[in-house]
Structure 1
């Protein structure tokens, strides 16, 4: 290449940078015209926008940072803000800016987008994350957006580390796209106080998340939380105020877990040793569920809230063993998947005290009558631990498997009714309006 060609190339690059700089200057002046900056004490009066308060530019006068935070600024953002193609940080948090968030797609250098605690009310663009492969942190908390769902374009933000969308009208189901294969850098996902529904996606179990906040959904998230047992990087879990149900899974692999908050859900079953044995725990909240069995005993260094106003612990003393009759019945409930109906009724340490389906003679359990309770699962061998049993009614449920041979050891058992317990016979019985005469088909 000759010297003249080099000079021409340099001139061309200069003109391109100059044109881009002029275009950015126009964008910045339009932005200025839409914001009420004077009452906020922000000086954007210099003819050179690179010398404005809280604005930074690179050597080519291209805007790289706009950080106007906690100024009480009113107004709205210019729609063509996406033309600031070298922008690295865009922050306007804790102001009173309204309207919509402009289309920022294609800002390939943007690393931080922080607009929390404003008055943005329009819907979020489906292209919000398009082309943002450098984006690392997003904070849109506490804005009164119109209802919106996760933009699928978030999968293009492959460098994303922190996604905080608390109290911002996010609605619908949680998409199944949070695996490390899709978002390899994501460590913090905060979606509290929104309108999410449904269950936890399977991809969470293949993520590297350290923080997962899903508390306070309206109406609620529900289903099992078994996916948590695979999230071995978790440090903080907050699921408070939902309708998650079933058991707490085996959490022994979560060796860094410090916060575990499942307050105000529908969990049943015993609190597993895999949770109480975690040495990393500092805060645990189990209040307002339907946990059963003994009240869990955590290390003294752990702050524990396990108030028993809905929980069904047998005793109020952590670690105190339950009556053997209670242990046997809780084990029976385990084979049925710890049904919520039983958890609500089987409270305290005396099964002869008005427990659903339990009849006693003195302190001896003589009858277990759980027919028509919509039970699923299998029949537990633990029935054999109730040696005074005379009658077991399990008819008209949806049980599977075989009758445990241990039941043949019960010395006083006279009646075992397991008729009409398969879904097939349930459907047949429904056709005759509940007049079930299926017989014992075991």
Structure 2
């Protein structure tokens, strides 16, 4: 080949790539015009005299001739997306625009982005329906959750996406639809988020074909019928969210196979039967089964679950004693068990028919923030350490048959805001140390057998808004210091043995709305105080 022909060939090639560069540069500059960044200043590098491969958020191919990725998620962007131009980027395989404030409709031009493997439009403010995207057969990740889409979702277009690994289209007000059959054919899926997107009817048994699933979220829909036993095939599941549906029947046989499950929530349904299938799920971190119709006892095995930090079983028909080791979870590989106290944060077991006593091991749960076991049939005394748990914000023991006293340990409960222990058989004197629980907002100890004097130190509780001590056997005078509880709005000490003058300081309480002192031996006129 002659020198002149070689030179001509090089010139033509150079012109070809220059044309490509010029086209792709202009497409990105058009995109910059359509989008506004309110805070991030991400487009400062998007200027015509800069090579587009150097633009922030842009990744090119190896020879820097074509755009492969646009990563502009979570950049405080507003505006509409010009898919008619973006999809002219012939090598584009990733478009990530999630977590912004983009709006408008999605045009059918999106179908021209045929090389896309990753598409994220989630967490935006789009409107209208989402178009059929059957041509995007190479997609592996599709995120459209919480984006404002409505109407009929094009489920049929998923049939071409046989390599789909992540599918997240939840939290959009789509038209009601049965569980889409196209989804259960995507056997490479590892992440499936279909929560709150108007799915109704039954979960198909073919769900068991999705054996690569790690996450399955179907909550906040109108799904009915039983949980299919085939769900036990999903042995890689880490999270299973089914709450707030219309599910019925028992927990399926085979659920025990999901030994990798960390988070299981089937609360707010109509499930019934016992919890025996749960006792094998030893890696659970969160177990939420409240507001169902479960019966029988809580499996003793739950007391050995060392990772469990959130257990909610309230509003069921459960009976029997609580597992004695629940909440301790010491790691016996260590000799010094003081380094292995429980890590439970929340214990919710209200509104059942639990019997027995509160396990002493709960006193070791120094991370516990909410302890609620009200409206059961618990007996015995409260382990002393529970009164003084350092991080607990609510202790709710009401409506049981608990005896004993409130111990001096309560001085350590620096985070305690709500103490509910009414309608029990508690007795003894109220400890002076209750004043050290300085975060207290509400104290309800009514309908017990407390006796002795009301501690004068109670006036130190400056945040106290509600104090209910009615129907006890408290005696002596009402401390004048209670007039220092400047936040007090609701005070009830009726039906006790109190005597002496009604403190004049009550008349200085700025927010007092309700004062009930009847059925005592007090003197003075309440009306004179106000």
Where structure 1 has 5 or more consecutive residues not aligned to the other structure, the ranges are 320-346, 351-442
Give 1:119 shift. Answer: 1.1
1:217-228 alignment runs, 5 A limit: 217=221, 220-226=222-228, 227-228=230-231
Quick one: structure 1 residues 238 and 39, their matched pair in 2 at CA, closer, same or farther if it must change by over 3 Å? closer
The answer to whether the 8 Å contact 2:66/2:89 transfers is yes
Residue of 139, 150, 154 corresponding to 1:146: 150
Return the alpha-carbon distance in structure 2 between the equivalents of residues 185 and 2 of structure 1.
55
Give 1:188 shift. Answer: 0.6
Residue of structure 2 equivalent to 1:32: 32
Residue of structure 2 equivalent to 1:174: 179
The answer to whether the 8 Å contact 1:234/1:257 transfers is yes
The answer to whether the 8 Å contact 2:25/2:48 transfers is no
Give 1:228 shift. Answer: 1.3
Q: Deviations over 1:171-192 (max 9, x none)?
A: 422212334xx42321010122
Residue of structure 2 equivalent to 1:395: none
Matched, 1:51 2:54: yes
1:6-155 alignment runs, 5 A limit: 17-37=17-37, 40-41=40-41, 42-43=43-44, 44-47=46-49, 48-58=51-61, 59-80=63-84, 81-102=86-107, 103-127=109-133, 129-133=134-138, 135-155=139-159
Residue of structure 1 equivalent to 2:378: none
The answer to whether the 8 Å contact 1:17/1:60 transfers is no
Give 1:349 shift. Answer: 9.2
The two structures have a TM-score, normalised by structure 1, of: 0.63
Where structure 2 has 5 or more consecutive residues not aligned to the other structure, the ranges are 325-351, 356-530
Quick one: structure 1 residues 118 and 101, their matched pair in 2 at CA, closer, same or farther if it must change by over 3 Å? same
Quick one: structure 1 residues 18 and 199, their matched pair in 2 at CA, closer, same or farther if it must change by over 3 Å? farther
The answer to whether the 8 Å contact 1:294/1:318 transfers is no
Quick one: structure 1 residues 12 and 312, their matched pair in 2 at CA, closer, same or farther if it must change by over 3 Å? farther
The answer to whether the 8 Å contact 2:191/2:213 transfers is yes
Quick one: structure 1 residues 183 and 14, their matched pair in 2 at CA, closer, same or farther if it must change by over 3 Å? farther
The answer to whether the 8 Å contact 2:29/2:47 transfers is no
The two structures have a TM-score, normalised by structure 2, of: 0.54
Quick one: structure 1 residues 15 and 229, their matched pair in 2 at CA, closer, same or farther if it must change by over 3 Å? same
1:144-223 alignment runs, 5 A limit: 144-171=148-175, 172-179=177-184, 182-207=185-210, 208-217=212-221, 220-223=222-225
Return the alpha-carbon distance in structure 2 between the equivalents of residues 145 and 252 of structure 1.
37
The answer to whether the 8 Å contact 1:265/1:289 transfers is yes
Quick one: structure 1 residues 37 and 280, their matched pair in 2 at CA, closer, same or farther if it must change by over 3 Å? closer
The answer to whether the 8 Å contact 1:240/1:262 transfers is yes
Residue of 298, 305, 319 corresponding to 1:314: 319
The answer to whether the 8 Å contact 2:20/2:65 transfers is no
Bigger-Rg structure (1/2): 2
Residue of 311, 332, 344 corresponding to 1:305: 311
Return the alpha-carbon distance in structure 1 between the equivalents of residues 68 and 53 of structure 2.
10
- Secondary structure (helix, strand or coil) at the match of 2:79 reads strand
Residue of 261, 265, 274 corresponding to 2:265: 261
Quick one: structure 1 residues 232 and 177, their matched pair in 2 at CA, closer, same or farther if it must change by over 3 Å? farther
Greater shift, 199-208 or 8-17, is seen at: 8-17
The answer to whether the 8 Å contact 2:240/2:265 transfers is yes
Give 1:249 shift. Answer: 0.6
Matched, 1:238 2:246: no
Q: Deviations over 1:128-187 (max 9, x none)?
A: x52331x222222221112332431222222221112231224422212334xx423210
Quick one: structure 1 residues 255 and 74, their matched pair in 2 at CA, closer, same or farther if it must change by over 3 Å? same
Q: Deviations over 1:73-111 (max 9, x none)?
A: 211010312221211221222221111234332534323
Quick one: structure 1 residues 314 and 115, their matched pair in 2 at CA, closer, same or farther if it must change by over 3 Å? same
Give 1:295 shift. Answer: 2.7
Greater shift, 3-12 or 205-214, is seen at: 3-12
Return the alpha-carbon distance in structure 2 between the equivalents of residues 197 and 2 of structure 1.
72
Q: Deviations over 1:285-317 (max 9, x none)?
A: 1111001222333134234534342x1123353
- Secondary structure (helix, strand or coil) at the match of 2:244 reads coil
- Secondary structure (helix, strand or coil) at the match of 1:229 reads helix
Return the alpha-carbon distance in structure 1 between the equivalents of residues 198 and 146 of structure 2.
13
The answer to whether the 8 Å contact 1:216/1:240 transfers is yes
The answer to whether the 8 Å contact 1:231/1:254 transfers is yes
- Secondary structure (helix, strand or coil) at the match of 2:30 reads helix
Return the alpha-carbon distance in structure 2 between the equivalents of residues 256 and 38 of structure 1.
43
Return the alpha-carbon distance in structure 2 between the equivalents of residues 169 and 67 of structure 1.
27
Give 1:40 shift. Answer: 4.3
Quick one: structure 1 residues 67 and 349, their matched pair in 2 at CA, closer, same or farther if it must change by over 3 Å? closer
Return the alpha-carbon distance in structure 1 between the equivalents of residues 153 and 245 of structure 2.
19
The answer to whether the 8 Å contact 2:131/2:154 transfers is no
Return the alpha-carbon distance in structure 2 between the equivalents of residues 296 and 265 of structure 1.
20
Residue of structure 2 equivalent to 1:404: none
